[in-house]
C-alpha cells in the first residue's frame, strides 16, 4: 500500500507531533496552536490524521487530555538524522514548547561576536548571484584594507563564521572572518570561471583523516572507550574533509597532528596517524602539533 501523501504544511505539523512525542513523551493540541498559530479544532484534525497514519504510536490520556507515546509499539513514520534532531531542539520556539529551556536544559557555547545580518545577506546574494563584492576588511596581521572579493561559500568553524572567496588583490582564494567586514558594496560584476568555486583547488580537494586513540597513556588511559565513543571500525575513525577547512576541524576536535604523537594533555584524546595527508593543505597551520616531515 502506498504512503498517503500530504501537503507540505500538514506534513510539517504531523512531523512536529511525532518529534514532540519522541522528545517529550507526550503531545497536546496546544503544542500545535503555539507552534503553528492554528485553531484547536484544526489541531484536533491534525492529531486525527497522525493517529490514522500511525495508530500504534500514541494513546490518549483522558485525565491529562493529551496524547502519550506508546513506547512498546512506537515506530517513527518520519526519518530524522541526529543533526536534524539537534536542530529541532535548538530551535528556541520548539525547545520552549516542549520544555527544554534554552538556558536551563540545553547549553551550547555562546558566540563571542555576532556577524552583521545585512552584511551576511549581501554575501549570500553575491554567492548565489555569482557577483563581486567591494568591501572594507580588517585583518589581524595587516589591519584595515579595501578589497574586491568573489565569495563562493560560508564556513562555520565552531567559533565563528568565515567566508571563502577569491581575493582579487592577492589573486588567490582565501578565508575571511565574517565579523571583520564593513561597508560591503554589491556590484553587478560577474565572477569569471577561474575565480569561482570550481577553480578553488583547496575547497574541491578532499583529505582522508585517519583518527585513532592517542597512544600516550597519560592522555588516554583506556583507549577502548574511544573505540565506542567514536564508533570506530578496525580501531580507526575515517573522516573525509575539504582541504580548505581541515585545519579548522582538527583544531576544533583537538587532534594531535604531530607525526610522533608528542602532544601531551587530557584534551588530546585522538591522534592523526596519517599526518602526511596534510601535505600542501592551506589550513594546516591550525592543526595542533603538525610539522612537515
Over the stretch 217-227, which tens digit does the pLDDT of each residue have? 999 999 999 99
Over the stretch 102-116, which tens digit does the pLDDT of each residue have? 556 777 778 888 899
| CATH assignment, 117-201 | 2.30.30
Residue 151 pairs with which residues in a beta bridge? 165
Architecture of domain 8-98: Orthogonal Bundle (1.10)
Q: What is the pTM (predicted TM-score) of this model?
A: 0.80
For residue 240, pLDDT beyond 70: yes
Sheet holding 172-177, edge to edge: 172-177, 161-167, 143-156, 131-139, 181-190
Q: Which long-range contacts (CB under 8 A, 24 or more apart) does 116-124 make?
A: 116/179, 116/181, 116/182, 119/178, 119/181, 119/182, 119/184, 120/161, 120/178, 122/184, 122/186, 123/151, 123/154, 123/163, 123/178, 123/181, 123/184, 124/154
pLDDT-derived band at 131 (thresholds 50, 70, 90) equals very high
Distances (CA, A) of 43 to 10, 16, 286: 10, 12, 51
Q: Can you give the residue ranges of every domain in the chain?
A: 8-98, 117-201, 205-286
Name the residue among 21, 20, 11 with its Cα closest to residue 68: 21
For residue 287, pLDDT beyond 90: yes
Predicted pLDDT at 71: 94
Amino acid at each position: 500500500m502506498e504512503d498517503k501523501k500530504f501537503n507540505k504544511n500538514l506534513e510539517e505539523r504531523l512531523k512536529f507531533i511525532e518529534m514532540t512525542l519522541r522528545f517529550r513523551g507526550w503531545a497536546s493540541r496546544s503544542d500545535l496552536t503555539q507552534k503553528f498559530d492554528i485553531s484547536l479544532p484544526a489541531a484536533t484534525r491534525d492529531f486525527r490524521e497522525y493517529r490514522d497514519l500511525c495508530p500504534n504510536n500514541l494513546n490518549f490520556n483522558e485525565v491529562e487530555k493529551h496524547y502519550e507515546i506508546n513506547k512498546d509499539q512506537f515506530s517513527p513514520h518520519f526519518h530524522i538524522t541526529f543533526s536534524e534532531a539537534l536542530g529541532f531542539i535548538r530551535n528556541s520556539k520548539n525547545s520552549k514548547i516542549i520544555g527544554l529551556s534554552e538556558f536551563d536544559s540545553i547549553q551550547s557555547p555562546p558566540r563571542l561576536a555576532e556577524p552583521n545580518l545585512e552584511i551576511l545577506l549581501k554575501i549570500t546574494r553575491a554567492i548565489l548571484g555569482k557577483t563581486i563584492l567591494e568591501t572594507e576588511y580588517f585583518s589581524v596581521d595587516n589591519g584595515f584594507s579595501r578589497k574586491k572579493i568573489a565569495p563562493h561559500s560560508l564556513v562555520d568553524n565552531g567559533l565563528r563564521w568565515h567566508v571563502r572567496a577569491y581575493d582579487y588583490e592577492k589573486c588567490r582564494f582565501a578565508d575571511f572572518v565574517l565579523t571583520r567586514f564593513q561597508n560591503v558594496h554589491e556590484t553587478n560584476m560577474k565572477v569569471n570561471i577561474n575565480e569561482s568555486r570550481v577553480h578553488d583547488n583547496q575547497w574541491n580537494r578532499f583529505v582522508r583523516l585517519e583518527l585513532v586513540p592517542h597512544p600516550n597513556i597519560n592522555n588516554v588511559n583506556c583507549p577502548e572507550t574511544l573505540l565506542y565513543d567514536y564508533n570506530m571500525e578496525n580501531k580507526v575513525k575515517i573522516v573525509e574533509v575539504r582541504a580548505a577547512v581541515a585545519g579548522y576541524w582538527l583544531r576544533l576536535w583537538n587532534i594531535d597532528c604531530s607525526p610522533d604523537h608528542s602532544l601531551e594533555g587530557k584534551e588530546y584524546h585522538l591522534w592523526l596517524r596519517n599526518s602526511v595527508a596534510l601535505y600542501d593543505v592551506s589550513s594546516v597551520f591550525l592543526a595542533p602539533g603538525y610539522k612537515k616531515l
